[in-house]
């Protein structure tokens, strides 16, 4: 890799031990992936913020760092709502260690927003170079916005945040963003809810792995593209997809698809993934809810009471800018929590079966929460939570 004189000085330790170690991480990554140089980034998003996932070792590592981030940087969801953790059933012991993780990041200059939807916080534009690590945010940034980020690990995203640069390889290069497989969707106009797109993404992700799909036969709006990408990133390792005539790069470039493998999926496969099992909680907001999704949930809950626990997750920023929707949801007995989610919080581990409208949550909950999971449309989730005969709230 070719480093500038300023970068060489950082590497030599002239700006402190932490900056030197962080640049070493970026240079090592760059060498592995054949990058020729470092390029500036616009923002960073760092995973590894929930104590549930990083544990004691991660906290110790963070506490040893001594530097400041150079670009706007936020965190992935942590293990609890920072102000309402008691209502979530989080123990004081967990809250204390989670606060220590947050303090360590605060000391580095990281903004205390804990969300997997950083694109709702500040404007991220077509062509921006980023270092984001949450897989659903990465796939949204690349595919729906047309920004450019690799799927960073927590340490490499933090290193990029501190240095303000990332090695130029992978999805930062236009040539690496071409489709590698085609997914042809039959009856695509019947896929109208986040759960349908989540199920489609869940099935597609398992078939395409880490390849870049070009999807034909659907015309989803942004919230549904979010659900689709999050699920493909979870069941596969998709970091970029294109939807014919819809996503920015599919509109700008014409991609020849001759010779690519074609996979067909349709409404029947999607319906089969939405098998019915009894559940004792409902969790919505994976990835964190957009303003429109909060409104829709509020509408569905209007005049109803929930009979089993219902958790809705959103970023603190989105929730605080939409107090009426939050109040309307909570009027039903459901909770809207910020900073955290159903997968990274230990609060969901007390349930035996959780209903979700997200293909990503569907992929992660069994392993991360030790619960069975059922996938349903947003309307079905609210229907199950409010129907007579559902279990009483805990
Ligand atoms: Fe976000 Fe948690 Fe889902 S981090 S994408 S809400 S698993």
Q: Can you give the pLDDT at residue 390?
A: 57
- Contact assessment for residue 69 and residue 75, using Cβ atoms and an 8 Å cutoff: no
Domain regions of the chain by residue span: 5-174, 178-272, 281-385
Query: Which one of 50, 54, 116, 337 would you pick to mutate in the ligand 1 pocket, going by the greatest count of ligand atoms within 8 A of its CB?
Result: 116
Which structure tokens are listed for 261?
């493998």
Q: Residue 158 CB: number of other CB atoms within 10 A?
A: 29
DSSP-derived pairing of the beta strands 73-75 and 281-284: unpaired
Q: Can you give the pLDDT at residue 275?
A: 84
Spell out the per-residue pLDDT of the chain, length 394, in tens: 999 999 999 999 999 999 999 999 999 999 999 999 999 999 999 999 999 999 999 999 999 999 999 999 999 999 999 999 999 999 999 999 999 999 999 999 999 999 999 999 989 999 999 999 999 999 999 999 999 999 999 999 999 999 999 999 999 999 999 999 999 999 999 999 999 999 999 999 999 999 999 999 999 999 999 999 999 999 999 999 999 999 999 988 888 888 999 999 999 999 998 888 999 999 999 999 999 999 999 999 999 999 999 999 999 999 999 999 999 999 999 999 999 999 999 999 999 999 999 999 999 999 999 999 999 999 999 999 998 655 543 3
| Residue whose C-alpha is closest to residue 87's, from 335, 345, 381 | 335
The residue whose two tokens read 């493909």 is 232
State the Cα–Cα distance between residues 385 and 6, nearest whole angstrom. Answer: 58
Q: Do domains 5-174 and 281-385 have the same CATH topology?
A: yes
State the Cα–Cα distance between residues 294 and 308, nearest whole angstrom. Answer: 19
Q: DSSP string covering 146-194, please?
A: --B-----HHHHHHHHHHTEEE--GGGSGGGGS--EEEEEETGGG--SH
The residue whose two tokens read 């949930």 is 297
CA of 99 to the centre of ligand 1 (A): 20
Q: Is 337 in the pocket of ligand 1 (CB under 6 A)?
A: no
State the Cα–Cα distance between residues 362 and 322, nearest whole angstrom. Answer: 27
CATH number of 5-174: 3.30.499
Q: DSSP string covering 48-97, please?
A: --SHHHHHHHHHHHHHH-----SS-EEE--BSS-TTTTTTTT--HHHHHH
Query: Which one of 76, 119, 316, 341 would you pick to mutate in the ligand 1 pocket, going by the greatest count of ligand atoms within 8 A of its CB?
Result: 341
State the Cα–Cα distance between residues 174 and 5, nearest whole angstrom. Answer: 27
Exposed/middle/buried for 268, CB within 10 Å: 0-12, 13-18, 19+? exposed
State the Cα–Cα distance between residues 315 and 239, nearest whole angstrom. Answer: 22
Q: Which fold has domain 281-385?
A: Aconitase; domain 3 (3.30.499)
Q: Residue 257 CB: number of other CB atoms within 10 A?
A: 16
Q: Can you give the pLDDT at residue 110?
A: 98
For residue 313, the SS3 value is: strand
Q: Can you give the pLDDT at residue 389?
A: 55
């Amino acid at each position: 890799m070719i480093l500038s004189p300023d970068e060489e000085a950082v590497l030599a330790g002239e700006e402190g031990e932490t900056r030197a170690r962080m640049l070493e991480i970026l240079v090592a990554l760059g060498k592995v992936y054949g990058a020729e140089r470092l390029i500036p980034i616009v923002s960073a998003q760092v995973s590894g913020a929930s104590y549930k996932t990083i544990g004691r070792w991660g906290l110790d590592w963070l506490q040893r760092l001594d530097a400041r981030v150079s670009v706007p940087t936020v965190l992935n969801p942590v293990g609890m709502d920072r102000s309402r953790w008691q209502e979530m059933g989080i123990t004081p012991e967990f809250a204390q260690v989670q606060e220590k993780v947050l303090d360590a990041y605060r000391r580095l200059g990281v903004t205390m927003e804990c969300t997997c939807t950083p694109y709702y916080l500040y404007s991220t534009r077509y062509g921006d170079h980023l270092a984001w690590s949450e897989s659903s945010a990465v796939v949204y940034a690349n595919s729906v916005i047309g920004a450019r980020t690799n799927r960073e690990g927590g340490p490499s995203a933090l290193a990029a945040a501190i240095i303000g640069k990332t090695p130029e390889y992978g999805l930062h290069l236009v040539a690496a963003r071409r489709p590698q497989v085609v997914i042809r969707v039959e009856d695509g106009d019947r896929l109208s809810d986040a759960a349908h797109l989540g199920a489609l993404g869940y099935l597609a992700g398992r078939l395409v792995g880490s390849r870049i799909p070009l999807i034909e036969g659907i015309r989803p709006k942004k919230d549904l593209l979010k659900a689709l990408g999050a699920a493909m990133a979870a069941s596969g390792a998709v970091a970029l997809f294109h939807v014919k005539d819809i996503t920015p790069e599919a509109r700008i470039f014409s991609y020849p698809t001759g010779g690519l493998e074609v996979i067909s999926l349709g409404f029947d496969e999607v319906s089969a993934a939405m098998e019915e099992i009894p559940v004792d909680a409902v969790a919505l907001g994976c990835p964190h809810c957009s303003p429109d999704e909060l409104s829709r949930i509020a509408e569905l809950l209007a005049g109803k009471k929930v009979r089993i626990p219902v958790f809705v997750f959103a970023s603190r920023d989105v929730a605080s800018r939409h107090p009426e929707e939050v109040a309307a949801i909570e009027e039903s007995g459901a909770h809207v929590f910020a900073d955290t989610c159903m997968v990274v919080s230990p609060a969901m581990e007390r349930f035996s079966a959780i209903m979700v409208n997200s293909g990503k949550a569907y992929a992660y909950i069994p392993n991360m929460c030790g619960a069975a999971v059922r996938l349903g449309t947003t309307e079905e989730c609210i229907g199950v939570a409010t129907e007579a005969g559902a279990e009483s709230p805990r």
